[in-house]
Amino acid sequence: MTGMQTSVPELVHPVPADEVDPWARAMVATFLGDPDGPGTRRRVELLTRHWDPARTWGVRDRNRWVATLRTEQRALSLPGAGAETLDLAVDAVTNVTVSATHRRRGLMSRMMEESLTEARDRGDAVSILIAAEWPIYGRFGYAPATVAANYAFRRSRRGARCAGDPGRIRQVERDEFGAAAPAVFAAARRRRAGQVDRDADWWNRVLGREGYPPSEGMPHNWLLHEGEAGPDGLLAWKATSDWGLIPPLASAEVWNLTAATDAAYQDLWAYLSGLDAIDDIRLDDRPVDEPVRWLLDDARTLVMTRHVDFLWLRLLDVPAALAARRYAVPGDLVLDVIDEDVSRFASGRYRLTAEGDEAACAPASGDADVEITQQALASIYLGGFGLSELQLSGAAQERTPGALNQLGLMFSTPHAPWNATWF
Ligand SMILES: CC(C)(COP(=O)(O)OP(=O)(O)OC[C@H]1O[C@@H](n2cnc3c(N)ncnc32)[C@H](O)[C@@H]1OP(=O)(O)O)[C@@H](O)C(=O)NCCC(=O)NCCS
């Protein structure tokens, strides 16, 4: 009797461009998609156009791809002075899969460790990802940094009214929407920390412009809000059910609601609240502190249907990362950062000083005021979580009385951070 030959899976990095098709098919299958479906062909085409072999990993076994990982450079908005934000180029990890035939043998760990080390060597201060499941990425030092909310807007209830001027909103064709979208989103993105960028190519890709094949399931309504100096708001939505003469009426979903000004935000919600024939409007991946609550006659017509950690973050270079953002109040603290995960990139003692629009962080030798894990620091970095809730787990302890309170105040932000972009 002949047994099956034992195979040794081979870690491949970089993944050559001519392997995109089988690499992507393996990735799609593990993400429960159809590797032979039209969506996969589209995906392969898009990946091929932007393939950067130096930022791709995979594992091959018996001539088949059994694991995938890719990273890209994205811009992340960070808390700035006052209500402003700053931008930081970060390492963004995506397409992480290991086939069910090869799980729990350390393949993801090998790819993650290599990719994080390369990010650190490249000089990236921060790495981000969206975690499919909570337990996967903590061991590599990632921690939740933003929360996303889904809402159901019960539009046909009496109090679901938002005042505003829908007259400033123009219905347009998808192409015109696509031409305006990059600039409007770029301005809107900078109104909150935690937002990942979308360049013009991102919009062309999802909207099927400039030779890209159109995606399936696109919205049917494309709207621009006209501000003083041109478009400053975007809204795209579609009905998801029909309606009859007897209620319930139809449902709808918002694919995109982006506002670069408060006026655009209010007018777009006024438009939504006036969509007759629709009972319920679904909005996904929105901020937890959706300000429209305070514009509605009855804020309970906006129901939060999901609340989940969304963007995960890992600090690779503490001085660079902490100096890249601004702080709500002045402070001067020495932090002992404990990092026991991959390569302990963040381990060390650092002095953080902040005053108005200035922030500095450098290795320090004096006594520490606070001892904090890298993961806790990552969770408060964008203002998404408070030290008070993390403290219970022992993730942060003060050596100087009052230092934790001070640190918590410094890292607080005017708005909850929010990321609207999957990657
Ligand atoms: C998540 C995934 C990539 C893990 O790959 P893997 O090669 O099995 O992971 P590793 O063997 O390197 O696991 C390292 C450790 O993490 C743990 N781990 C990995 N995935 C986990 C999960 N989903 N839940 C709980 N623990 C997990 C392993 O048990 C292992 O722990 P141990 O060292 O204590 O034994 C793989 O299960 C997968 O492809 N899942 C479906 C797609 C997916 O969710 N991808 C992530 C997208 S963000």
- The pLDDT score that the predictor gives to residue 4 is 67
Mean pLDDT of the chain: 96
Report CA 236 to chain centroid distance, whole Å. Answer: 20
The amino acid present at 59, given as its one-letter code, is V
| Ligand 1 pocket at CB < 6 A | 30, 96-98, 103-109, 131-133, 135-136, 139
- The pLDDT score that the predictor gives to residue 397 is 96
Residue 257: pLDDT band (50, 70, 90) is very high
Which ligand 1 atom lies nearest to the CA of residue 132?
48
Distances (CA, A) of 292 to 28, 303, 357: 37, 12, 30
Which ligand 1 atom lies nearest to the CA of residue 112?
12
pLDDT in tens, 59-117: 999 999 999 999 999 999 999 999 999 999 999 999 999 999 999 999 999 999 999 99
Average pLDDT rounded to a whole number, residues 242-261: 95
Residue 3: pLDDT band (50, 70, 90) is low
- The pLDDT score that the predictor gives to residue 6 is 77
Identify the residue whose C-alpha is closest to ligand 1 atom 25: 135
pLDDT in tens, 275-302: 999 999 999 999 999 999 999 999 999 9
pLDDT higher for 6 or 224? 224
Using an 8 Å Cβ cutoff, are 386 and 421 in contact? no
| From 27, 32, 99, 136, mutation site for ligand 1 pocket: most ligand atoms within 8 A of C-beta | 136
- The pLDDT score that the predictor gives to residue 182 is 97
- The pLDDT score that the predictor gives to residue 212 is 86
Which ligand 1 atom lies nearest to the CA of residue 103?
8
Which ligand 1 atom lies nearest to the CA of residue 31?
42
- Integer Cα distance of 35 and 31 in angstroms: 10
pLDDT higher for 211 or 110? 110
Count the neighbouring beta carbons within 10 Å of the beta carbon of residue 212: 17
Omega of the bond prior to 248 within 30 degrees of 0, cis? yes
Using an 8 Å Cβ cutoff, are 306 and 139 in contact? no
Identify the residue whose C-alpha is closest to ligand 1 atom 28: 104
Residue 342: pLDDT band (50, 70, 90) is confident
| From 98, 140, 342, 423, mutation site for ligand 1 pocket: most ligand atoms within 8 A of C-beta | 98
Omega of the bond prior to 14 within 30 degrees of 0, cis? yes
Coil/strand/helix, residue 418: coil
Using an 8 Å Cβ cutoff, are 314 and 115 in contact? no
- The pLDDT score that the predictor gives to residue 235 is 98
Burial of 381 (0-12, 13-18, 19+ CB in 10 A): buried
- Integer Cα distance of 394 and 18 in angstroms: 49
Q: DSSP state, 362?
A: E
Q: What percent of the chain has pLDDT over 70?
A: 99
Identify the residue whose C-alpha is closest to ligand 1 atom 30: 104
Question: Residue 422 is inside which H or E element, if any?
Answer: none
The amino acid present at 384, given as its one-letter code, is G
Using an 8 Å Cβ cutoff, are 313 and 142 in contact? yes
